[in-house]
Amino acid sequence: MAPLFRALSRRDAILILIGAFSMHFFTSLAPLTTHSVVINTGVHHQLGDEVVVEHPPQNDQELGGLLGYTHILEELDDFSTDSSDVDPRKDVIPSNKNGALEQPVNVAGGTDLSGVIVLPETTIVEHVPGWTLFRDIYMANGTFLILSSSLTAFPDVRYMTSTGLAALNTPENIALREPTPWNMDFVTPEEALQRWGDHPASRRVWSVEGNTLLFNDPPQFLAHYYHFCAELLLGTWSFWTGAAHPEPPPPIHRAIFPHSTSAGWRDGPGFNSYFLRAVFPSLTVEVEDDWNDRIVATSASIDSGIHRAWHFPYLLLADRSAAFRGSLCGGQNQRTASESVDGLIARSKLDRNGLWWRSIRNAVWRFAGVTEQDEDDAFRIGRREWDDKLETVEPPEFEETEKIVITYISRQSVRRRLIPEDHEGLVEELEALVRRKNAEIKDTMAAGGGGAKEWELNVVRAEQMTKDEQVHLVARTTILLGVHGNGLSHLILMPHTKMSAVIEMFYPGGFAHDYEWTTRALGMRHFAVWNDTYFTEENTPRVNYPQGFQGEKIPIYGPNVASIIERRIAREL
């Protein structure tokens, strides 16, 4: 029988050497490609002692998984990357002076799980009752899943989420809104491998790229300008910016309303969508049908037993019922945003004067066409000195307007309004006040004085104005006046001057924190008026809705309101 291998001739040896040299030479000229790395862990590993790594580990956690969760070896540091490399907040272009992004940004690396050996565990960036910012949270079959080796490292689930049912103030309904494992549950890394696959090539987890807001509120509170813009969005932005402090807030790519239709989050006048699109023009909105699509896609088939999951790399979960379980919202002011604003102020992550909100307000101003020199030349916001120095100069705490502008939002054509004669008397008192103050200014100027500002009064019905007109007016307003109602939500768009104030008229004996808390959260002064009496934060009355609160015969003593305004402008109040 002939031998299996014949002796190599000189020609064969030369050809082999030439081939080896050519391979080495040409591959050295080719672009570098991803190589598989074989790591012998030296310890028992669920994938075997030799682990084939198709992609370099993305962080210490993944490398630790490859090494059997032992300490990272110094000689393998080349495979690890700094944690900031997978932080979606880091790859962010800082917002400009108006809060708009300078240029489109991409989410940082680390959201593609196709090559990740060990799934990233869930961590919490920031949390207060009702507001939780997660990094790397999962969802399957409608259940949020916290992937963690330590199930005790997280807040009580009831302070993070709820069933999302409509809220009624009954013991039965309160109990029904308590979360169950169907709403949020925990999964260990080992269970995750069993459910979704233990090899990257066959793993059934899909990343929802970008940064996500998920509003777990029922439409009961969404289709309302105050609750949506002055409570939900205000709380969201305070938490989003506070959690990132001292870095600029990251971009927001997506908002999900899992319990609302596309019409369910829109209010009748249309300010919710106007506001949201003005502030976040590139935002993708998903609603109940979209969320149900995600649920169905990750519902395990009984026959196949195939489990899938969505991975959210950076998600803020806002939950109204969970916020009401907190001591601030549930025990003091009934404002869900207070858990965020007051909670993060206490942690020194937000300022007390609402500067964090200014970029949002300015975005709405720009959308409405408000400029530094408005159409009637009556408005100039005092930000010119720092406009071009944003990188080195902080915006001023207080802004300046050219005039003292009083805006009375009348409700005389809708429910909850003043006694007609009292409304007329109030307008007469305000007109007399403005005439007198302007006459005093003329006398001062005639005597060679200066520096005093002209006064202006606007008595308006918001329903008769366009949205742009309303924004233009409130952007010039120093004193906002009205009966308790939705029109006062515009306070979130007022300039923050040293004299700014909101005067809210109630039926005597009645009170609610809605506009009082929001005014103070933005660093302005609030006055609650009962006919001929007023209250401030020093003596705020208790919440009460007496008979007549929603009625059409709310009394008001005009001279009392005029006196409050005059003394506030003089900074006596």
CA-to-CA distance for 542 and 349, rounded, in angstroms?
29
Which are the contacts of 472, defined by CB distance < 8 A and separation ≥ 6? 368, 369, 370, 374, 375
The predicted pLDDT at position 372 comes to: 60
Predicted confidence (pLDDT) per residue in 422-465, tens digit = 999 999 999 999 999 999 999 988 888 777 899 999 999 999 99
Q: How many Cα atoms within 13 Å fall on the side-chain side of residue 20?
A: 6
52 HSE (CA, 13 A, CB side) = 7
Q: What are the angstrom distances between the C-alpha of 339 and each of 204, 233, 425? A: 36, 13, 40
Q: Which residue stretches of 461-557 are H helix?
A: 467-474, 514-521
> Phi, psi at residue 147, to the nearest 5°?
-90, 115
What is the band of 477 on the pLDDT scale with cuts at 50, 70, 90? very high
Whether the full predicted model's pTM is greater than 0.75, yes or no, is yes
Share of the chain above pLDDT 90, in %: 69
- pLDDT higher than 70, residue 1: no
Q: DSSP 3-state assignment of 9?
A: coil
Instruction: Indicate the angle between helix axes 558-569 and 420-446, nearest 10 degrees.
Output: 30
The CA–CA distances, whole Å, from 3 to 7, 8, 10, 12, 412 equal 10, 13, 19, 17, 109
Strand partners, 197: none
| Residues of each domain in the chain carrying CATH 3.40.50 | 369-569
pLDDT at 21: 55
Q: Taking a C-beta distance cutoff of 8 angstroms, is the pair 408, 458 a contact?
A: yes
Query: Which of the four pLDDT bands, split at 50, 70 and 90, describes residue 11?
Result: low
Cα(145)–Cα(347) distance, integer angstroms: 28
Reduce the DSSP state of residue 519 to 3 states and report it.
Answer: helix
State how beta strands 533-535 and 525-530 pair: antiparallel
| Distance separating alpha carbons of residues 344 and 350, to the nearest angstrom | 6
Confidence of residue 237 (pLDDT cuts 50, 70, 90): very high
Give the pLDDT of residue 66: 35
- 495 alpha carbon, distance to own chain's centre: 21
Specify whether the CB–CB gap between 525 and 501 falls below 8 A. Answer: yes
218 pLDDT band, cuts 50/70/90, is very high
Gap between the Cα atoms of 86 and 109, Å rounded: 5
Collapsed DSSP state (helix, strand, coil) of residue 261: coil
Lowest mean pLDDT among 39-53, 124-138, 270-284, 312-326: 39-53
Mean of the pLDDT values across residues 343-369? 97
| Residue 452: per-residue pLDDT | 87
Please list the residues that pair with 530 across neighbouring strands. 533
Comparing C-alpha atoms, which of 267, 135, 300, 159 is closest to residue 216?
A: 159
Radius of gyration of the chain (CA): 31
**Between residues 2 and 21, the one the model is more confident about:** 21
Peptide bond into 495 cis (omega under 30): no
Fold for domain 369-569?
Rossmann fold (3.40.50)
Longest Cα separation, the chain? 128
Backbone angles phi, psi at 58, to 5 degrees: -85, -20
Quote the pLDDT of residue 12: 59
